Amino acid sequence: MSDPSSHGPIRSFGRIKSRALKPRQAALFDTLLPTVALPDPANGPLDPAAIMPGAKQVWLEIGFGGGEHLAGQAARHPDTLMIGCEPFLNGVGSALRHIEEGGLKNVRIHADDARAVLAALPDTSVDHVLILFPDPWPKARHAKRRLVQADVAAELARILKVGGKLRFVTDWKAYADWALARFLETPGLVWMAEAADDWRNAPADHIRTRYEDKHLGDTEPVFLLFERRAAPAA
């Protein structure tokens, strides 16, 4: 039997597809997705300046679900390159509908594992990373499948500009503790909380999604915000 590790990293997400795509969404895969697809990171490094010349900032949303937050932030910040990663095809279809309805020109979609995009982005190239309600893998034996691991945290710190922000949100207590521990151990990332309300209350620019309204976790949403600071000299 072949070694599973030889086939790439352990999947941090569940289903790729849950139901047949609606006809409109299926059509957008053929018409719209080719125009907003991120260049394939397997083909080499990604250059945000080439993807959207003149963009004032670069934001990366990992696991955008149905795309409501991604599209909402893109509409608010039309001069920002919004890169969204999501392997769940029904979510991609939903996001494409939001992009079309909003006439958004600043969104690029990677319909696959975000870790390939992280590896292809240059150092200090991203202003804001958002990870909102990722698959929690709540059972202890599945914790190794969570997106936030030490290596991913290090990659996030690498791609963030000094002063750049990382926002992580979950409604599962165990994942909040898990993620906080790994981000705190990552050189260059500093937790910005000064009081309990800083992680209990949503940031002013937060956009609620249908997932958040379902209250599927075991706690109210926990908002963890980190800033990229210069790592201490070795």
Per the annotation, binding residues are 61, 86, 113, 135, 139, 171, 209-212
Residues annotated within a binding site for substrate: 139, 171, 209-212
Residues annotated within a binding site for S-adenosyl-L-methionine: 61, 86, 113, 135
Structure tokens belonging to residue 13: 């997400």
Measured CA to CA, the distance from residue 101 to residue 103 in angstroms comes to 6
H/E stretch holding 34 = helix 33-36
User: Which residue from 34, 171, 153, 15 is spatially nearest to 90, judged by alpha carbons?
Assistant: 15
DSSP-H helix ranges across 103-202: 114-120, 150-159, 173-184, 197-200
> Measured between alpha carbons, how far is residue 99 from residues 23, 94, 112 in Å?
16, 9, 18
Structure tokens belonging to residue 185: 């151990």
Contact 227, 193 (CB under 8 A): no
Residue 142 is classified by DSSP as: G
Structure tokens belonging to residue 29: 């895969």
Contact 156, 188 (CB under 8 A): no
Mark whether 112 is an active-site residue.
Answer: no
Catalytic residue among 3, 112, 123, 135: 135
Catalytic residues: 135
